[in-house]
Amino acid sequence: MDDRGQLTTEHRNPRSKNLHGLSVEEAFALINAEDAGIARAIADAGDEICRAIELVIESFRRGGRLIYVGAGTSGRLGVLDAAECPPTFLTDPEQVQGVIAGGCDAITRSVEGAEDDPAAGAAAMDQRDAGGADVVFGIATGGTTPYVHGAIRRARRRGAKTVFLACVSDGQVADDADVSIRVDTGPEVLTGSTRMKAGTATKMILNMVTTIAMVRSGKVYENLMVDMNTAGNAKLRDRGMRVIGSLTGLDRAASGSLLKAAGGHVKTALVMHARGITREEAGRLLDEAAGQVGQVIEPLQPID
């Protein structure tokens, strides 16, 4: 067994050595102060994060997929981000995927030992037929997870672009990815518990990756979701009507009628209103503009 004690994520944090003796208020203040540095650490890795996002944008333009791979907390955060894309951006569930060592059972409970098998990570890439149009995004906050490294190596051999995210320097643990993101979140308040600062940093980065890639893919207009499954639930129908009302000036009843006439599709409703055309004609224009609603409505009718 390798000694992982040299890894930053395994170091003891000198500021929390008396953690067991702190009051609730003192422990809260300590953890909150430690968390305050996460955004700065992410900013320091901004160039690499942006390079990774560009890979994902290009993948989506080519009809490819973003495949997160991780174990434990890292794997669960990848699964979470993937699961949130269809309701937020009306994406095909296959477009963003989360792969976790140990399979579905590991989402809700620990599957010990699963992360130690690089061959299983490689096999997961074979099972998903990872290839030239895809981006495989490995997450291993401590940097060493064999399952993730196995997946990255196999994905590269299969022609996929690869990204690796860790919270230790590449001098401590190397990787084989096309883009290596290293975020120095420092030692955890609870030694080795990377579900804390490292996990928070991971969640923030994955939010940026998919949100910015979806914005660039035409899923957002201004700062509003214009691709969403309004048939999914009452909250999304309400949001769809409010988006339409905000961008068109229509009242709620008229926004609801327009949304219904557009088959529940907000982008289609906006084009129908701006151009005074049918649902079918709006759909054709959106297809021609690769889903970029601004390209269809702004030349004709700029929206304040």
240 by DSSP, 3-state: which? helix
Tell me the C-alpha distance between 167 and 200, whole Å.
11
The answer for 186, left when phi > 0, alpha when psi is -120 to 50, beta otherwise, is left
At position 9, the amino acid (one-letter code) is T
The whole-number pLDDT of residue 223 equals 94
Residue owning tokens 């981000």? 81
The whole-number pLDDT of residue 299 equals 63
Tell me the C-alpha distance between 120 and 153, whole Å.
12
Domain at 8-216: CATH code = 3.40.50.10490
**Close Cβ partners of 232 (under 8 Å, ≥ 6 residues apart):** 87
- Provide the β-strand partners of residue 68: 98, 137
Q: How far is CA 301 from the centre of its chain?
A: 33
The catalytic residue positions are 84, 115
The whole-number pLDDT of residue 111 equals 84
Query: pLDDT tens string for the chain (304 positions)?
Result: 566 767 888 888 999 999 999 999 999 999 999 999 999 999 999 999 999 999 999 999 999 999 999 999 999 999 999 999 998 999 999 999 999 999 999 998 888 788 889 999 999 999 999 999 999 999 999 999 999 999 999 999 999 999 999 999 999 999 999 999 999 999 999 998 899 999 999 999 999 999 999 999 999 999 999 998 787 789 989 999 999 999 999 999 999 999 999 999 999 999 999 999 999 999 999 999 999 999 998 865 544 4
Q: pTM of the prediction?
A: 0.91
Q: What is the DSSP string of 7-71?
A: SGGGSPPGGGTTGGG--HHHHHHHHHHHHTTHHHHHHHTHHHHHHHHHHHHHHHHTT--EEEEES
H or E element that contains 201: helix 197-216
The whole-number pLDDT of residue 302 equals 43
**Residue 151, CA atoms < 13 Å, CB-side half-sphere:** 36
Tell me the C-alpha distance between 112 and 102, whole Å.
8
The whole-number pLDDT of residue 300 equals 52
Q: Rg for the chain (alpha carbons), in Å? A: 22
Angle subtended by helix axes 72-89 and 197-216, to nearest 10: 30
Select 220-297's CATH number: 1.10.8.1080, 1.10.15.40, 3.40.50.2300, 3.90.1530.10: 1.10.8.1080
In the chain, where does the domain assigned CATH 1.10.8.1080 lie? 220-297
In the chain, where does the domain assigned CATH 3.40.50.10490 lie? 8-216
**Residue 143, CA atoms < 13 Å, CB-side half-sphere:** 24
